[in-house]
Structure 1
Amino acid sequence: MGTYSRAEAVRRTGLSADTVRYYERAGLVPPVGRSAAGRRRYTDVDLKWLGLVHCLREAGMPITEIAHFTQLLRDGDTTVDERLALLRAHEQRVLERIDRLHEHLGQIRSKIEVYSGGRTWSPVG
């Protein structure tokens, strides 16, 4: 298993250095190991944690909920049912958001058709 500097971790995850620092300060990922010189050294497991946290955040999960979820992960196998419930609830919120976005996309496409046809703007037509 390799270890990576923060710059390498940023490059491998596609996250910004600020985002990585924020996730660490917020306690959303386990503490990262350090080299003998005191520099952070990220492992492949650390990169997976960062990826998971970022996925949940990008999918709209609130930071407090991510913190709860990651604590449950750290607590081990006895929390699987609670983690599953948390993920299922978030899945439902994401699906509802997708449905709303599809509705908005339909309205946007309707307006594109109006403008492409040379008609003037109307909020209803």
Structure 2
Amino acid sequence: MTITEVSKMYNISADTLRYYERIGLIPAVNRTPGGIRDFTEEDCKWVEYAKCMRNSGVQVEALIEYVELFQKGDSTTAARKQILIDQRDILLEKTLEMQKTLERLNSKIERY
């Protein structure tokens, strides 16, 4: 798939996809002999993963480290798992904060 197709599929700009690849948020995408990015199904899974994690507020640095470790193979399984655990804990804390804010807003709304 071309970058345009992937961009439309995931509603991410082509510039964002290039940026994600450049900083290592997604692994390097193979290119055609003419230099055009040729996204595979596996590449698309990485794009979907990156988008999901970023939309949830997962730290870019953590995702980059995760991708780097993933590319090094099975010997990094424990380190990758720890990154995911740490990010989950951060998200849980943020979720609790958001829940408290939602409750406060609901309380204010009920007063009107």
Q: CA deviation at 1:94?
A: 0.6
Instruction: Give the partner amino acid of 1:23.
Output: Y
Name structure 2 gaps, 5 residues minimum.
none
For the pair shown, the structure with the greater C-alpha radius of gyration is 1
**1:27-42 map, 5 Å:** 27-42=24-39
Q: CA deviation at 1:16?
A: 2.1
2: CA distance, partners of 1:27 / 1:76 = 16
2: CA distance, partners of 1:85 / 1:64 = 14
3-state SS, counterpart of residue 39 of structure 2: strand
User: Deviations along 1:80-118, whole A, 9 cap, x unmatched?
Assistant: 111111101111111111111000000111111112xxx
Higher strand share: 1
Instruction: Give the partner amino acid of 1:106.
Output: E
Higher helix share: 2
2:105 to 100, 103, 108: 108
Task: State the aligned residue count.
Answer: 112
Normalising by the residue count of structure 2, what TM-score does the alignment of the two structures yield? Answer: 0.92
**Structure 2 counterpart of 1:16:** 13
User: Alignment RMSD, CA only?
Assistant: 1.2
Q: Displaced runs of 4+ in structure 1, greater than 2 A?
A: none
Normalising by the residue count of structure 1, what TM-score does the alignment of the two structures yield? Answer: 0.83
Name structure 1 gaps, 5 residues minimum.
116-125
**Structure 2 counterpart of 1:51:** 48
3-state SS, counterpart of residue 108 of structure 1: helix
